[in-house]
Amino acid sequence: MVSGSDNKLKNDASDDCCEGNMPAGSQKAKEVKSLNRSDRRVVRTEKKIHQVFLELLQDKTYGEITVGMILDKAKINRSTFYKHYINKHDLASEVMANCQEAIISSLLGEERLSLGNLGFFKSLQATLTKHREMLKLVKRLNSEDLDVRKSFHDYFYRSIKKHYEGKLYGSSEEELDLGSYVSADILISVLMYYLDKGEEVHPDNIIRVIVNMYGLRSYYTPE
């Protein structure tokens, strides 16, 4: 459940709280606790926790944020938090996964997901622009516990490979695997470049660089 990340997030101050020990039984995964994911109260609570977590990320590093800060800002008790998440890392992983899903689902909706197709990169630019604020905050999750770039690459790789399974007739499993890996590598590189530069990258420039560097001119299709 991704919160309204495209809206401006508020910069509210939080009291300094320590994380403390987890209550007994909190090590159970959310699936074991059998939360009803369609229950409006569950959805509302997790949306609130996500929103507060993203707001805190605007002013603090991932390492500085504690569960106590989240509890104070979200105005929930500790037992409620641990009914939904094992720990802070569990929450961060879910926020990142929601962001990844939002991006890849829009890209895989393209009729032709091709690195040699200008239309695909126009769609990529629109997607990155739409989710830019969320992406900037998710990037701040990078730490010893969470490798953001690797996580995005792995997710893109798995999604692209699954998308093309059974569709590329005549291609071997090795070709599908390598093609998916390289495609994910290029996608994550474009994403990180876009975030690092702090400006939109025109699709024409992206495709021009890729075509020239990888010698793909014969495979290039305008739309």
Residue 103 and residue 167 share a domain: yes
> What is the number of domains present in the chain?
2
Higher pLDDT, 208 or 170: 208
More confident residue, 100 or 190: 100
pLDDT at 87 over 90: yes
pTM of the model: 0.73
Assess whether 109 and 15 both reside in one domain: no
Sorted by sequence, the CB contacts under 8 Å of residue 154 that are 6+ apart come out as 184
Identify the three-state secondary structure at position 19. coil
On the 0-12 / 13-18 / 19+ scale of CB atoms within 10 A, 134 is buried
Instruction: Single out the residue in 86, 107, 126 at which a domain terminates.
Output: 86
CB 108 within 8 A of CB 94: no
172 lies in the same domain as 101: yes
Looking at the fold, whether 16 and 75 belong to one and the same domain comes out as yes
Secondary structure (H, E, C), 69-85: HHHHHHCCCHHHHHHHC
Q: Based on the domain organization, do 81 and 101 belong to the same domain?
A: no
| Shared-domain flag, residues 23 and 71 | yes
User: Which one of 56, 86, 116 terminates a domain?
Assistant: 86
Is 100 in the same domain as 197?
yes
End residue of a domain, out of 51, 86, 121: 86
CB distance 127 to 108 below 8 Å: no
Asked whether residue 42 falls in the same domain as residue 106, the answer is no
29-61 confidence digits (pLDDT tens): 544 356 776 788 889 999 999 999 999 999 999
Q: Are residues 17 and 97 in the same domain?
A: no
- What domain range includes position 183? 93-219
Same domain, 45 and 121: no
Query: Is pLDDT above 90 for 19?
Result: no
Q: Please report which confidence band the pLDDT of residue 211 belongs to, taking 50, 70 and 90 as the band edges.
A: low
Same structural domain for residues 214 and 142? Answer: yes
Q: What is the pLDDT of residue 144?
A: 87
Contacts of 86 (CB under 8 A, 6+ apart): 26, 27, 28, 29, 30
Give me the DSSP letters along 141-204. Answer: T-SSS--HHHHHHHHHHHHHHHHHTTTSTT--HHHHHHHHHHHHHHHHHHHHHHHHHTS---HH
Q: Please name the residue that has the structure tokens 């020990």.
A: 21
Angle formed by the axes of helices 173-197 and 148-164, to 10°? Answer: 140
Can you count the helices (H) and strands (E) in the chain? 9, 0
Residue 155's pLDDT is 94
Is residue 103 located within the same domain as residue 186?
yes
Tokens coding 146: 């969470």
